[in-house]
């Protein structure tokens, strides 16, 4: 469909998953790493703070930073607790790293993070020889006592990039070979970035193995735009027939593109321009033009590639014709909030026909105006997803805690306002 207005062009902030890993892997490298375009969000600040407490000289985050690595064996025992804020990535990946050191570290987080499950990383780390203590057997605070580790071949019961990364990083720091097999493919930023730094990575279908190197080479990295953040503007354009958004320099890693694939399946015009490989990742520009949308069925292997975008997909589905069914997404129950219950409850508050499933939800779309106040439970992705829905003409939606968007997307509301004004011209 041809655009009815001039395209709205935006580059969203750097990818959150890559930004976390860039700091961690730079800290473990030999020599100075340079990282450009890092995401300066609350979650990434948590990773920076934890690394500083472990003796790494991490500068104030900015558009172009340099980190002098301490190598694979030289982190310091922390003198205080490791506060991970709201960041599950910080907690789980740094838990794997700390497991390889002969000291004790105590991980804490905010109220939301303290409810999220940690047994999933504790089990493989214990199998490698680390001691991991959890409150009530599954929650923060988490006390990790590391040391000499042994090899492990871990069979994961769910696709989880954080569990996979925790095991790979424990093997990296502990100097032992490890492997992780998953039922479906999860995000692979850890293995891509470690391979680019000289680690031995072997991929065998759904199994990833690491052969630890003697040292990691420093990073020279420009962080691409976060596809999970870009998704909000892709969704806004998709729901407005004839409007076009151009999303610059987005990470096109195939384990992250599921949402845009689904927008295309629903009827939006989704294209990619200027695709190329940089730093082990595929990057390029998404071009999304809105069109009448239809409901879809999402499940199975498609879920891991869009797990963070499923609340947004549900909001898009509320404006699509017919029924959208999402299954196989029980992981949403243990995110920053119970995203299944929260999304369905908020959609119903707005007048949408929606129902919960044990592992997903059903949303039946309509064209009626949506009005009401949604409750985010402090969950940044819920705030932004319903913010996008509220930006559509005719809808009147109040977000109870818009400030929580800073966890992953500083400046989101300003960018959304710019897009809304551009599409209204």
Instruction: Tell me the C-alpha distance between 128 and 112, whole Å.
Output: 28
Torsion of CA 85, 91, 93, 98, to 10 degrees: 120
Instruction: Tell me the C-alpha distance between 276 and 259, whole Å.
Output: 20
Burial group, residue 143, by CB count within 10 angstroms (0-12, 13-18, 19+) = middle
CA atoms within 13 A of residue 9's CA, in its CB half-sphere:
4
Please give the C-alpha separations between residue 312 and each of 123, 219, 401, in angstroms, as whole numbers. Answer: 32, 33, 17
Beta-strand pair 82-83/104-108:
parallel
Instruction: Tell me the C-alpha distance between 172 and 178, whole Å.
Output: 9
Q: Where are the alpha helices (DSSP H) in 99-183?
A: 119-127, 161-174
Catalytic residue among 43, 308, 379, 425: 308
Active site residue 57: no
**CB neighbour list of residue 421: distance below 8 Å, 6 or more residues apart:** none
Q: What is the set of active-site residues?
A: 308
């Amino acid at each position: 469909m041809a655009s009815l207005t001039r395209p709205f062009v935006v580059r969203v902030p750097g990818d959150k998953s890559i930004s976390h890993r860039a700091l961690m892997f730079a800290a473990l490298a030999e020599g100075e790493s340079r990282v450009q375009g890092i995401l300066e969000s609350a979650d990434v600040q948590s990773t920076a703070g934890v690394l500083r407490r472990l003796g790494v000289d991490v500068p104030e985050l900015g558009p172009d930073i340099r980190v002098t690595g301490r190598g694979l064996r030289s982190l310091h025992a922390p003198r205080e607790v490791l506060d991970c804020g709201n960041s599950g990535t910080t907690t789980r990946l740094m838990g794997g790293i700390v497991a390889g050191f002969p000291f004790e570290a105590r991980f804490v987080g905010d109220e939301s993070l303290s409810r999220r499950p940690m047994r999933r990383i504790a089990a493989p780390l214990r199998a490698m020889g680390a001691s991991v203590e959890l409150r009530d057997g599954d929650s923060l605070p988490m006390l990790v006592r590391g040391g000499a580790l042994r090899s492990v071949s871990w069979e994961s019961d769910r696709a989880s990039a954080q569990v996979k990364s925790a095991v790979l990083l424990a093997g990296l720091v502990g100097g032992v070979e490890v492997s992780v097999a998953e039922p479906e493919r999860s995000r692979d930023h850890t293995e891509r970035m470690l391979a680019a730094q000289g680690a031995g990575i072997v991929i065998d279908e759904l199994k990833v193995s690491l052969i630890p190197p003697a040292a990691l080479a420093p990073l020279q990295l420009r962080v691409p735009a976060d596809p999970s953040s870009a998704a909000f503007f892709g969704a806004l354009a998709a729901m407005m027939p004839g409007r076009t958004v151009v999303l610059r320099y987005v990470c096109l890693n195939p384990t992250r593109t599921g949402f845009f694939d689904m927008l295309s399946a629903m009827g939006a015009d989704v294209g990619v321009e200027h695709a190329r490989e940089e730093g082990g990742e595929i990057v390029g520009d998404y071009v999304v033009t809105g069109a009448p949308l239809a409901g879809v069925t999402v499940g199975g292997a498609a879920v891991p590639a869009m797990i963070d975008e499923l609340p947004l997909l549900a909001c898009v589905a509320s404006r699509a014709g017919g029924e959208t069914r999402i299954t196989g997404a029980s992981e949403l129950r243990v995110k920053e909030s119970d995203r299944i219950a929260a999304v369905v409850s908020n959609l119903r508050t707005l007048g949408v026909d929606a129902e919960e499933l044990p592992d997903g939800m059903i949303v039946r779309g309509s064209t009626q105006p949506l009005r009401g106040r949604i409750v985010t439970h402090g969950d940044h992705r819920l705030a932004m997803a319903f913010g996008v829905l509220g930006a559509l003409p005719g809808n009147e939606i109040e977000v109870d805690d818009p400030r929580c968007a800073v966890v992953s997307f500083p400046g989101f509301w300003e960018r959304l306002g710019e897009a809304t004004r551009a599409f209204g011209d």
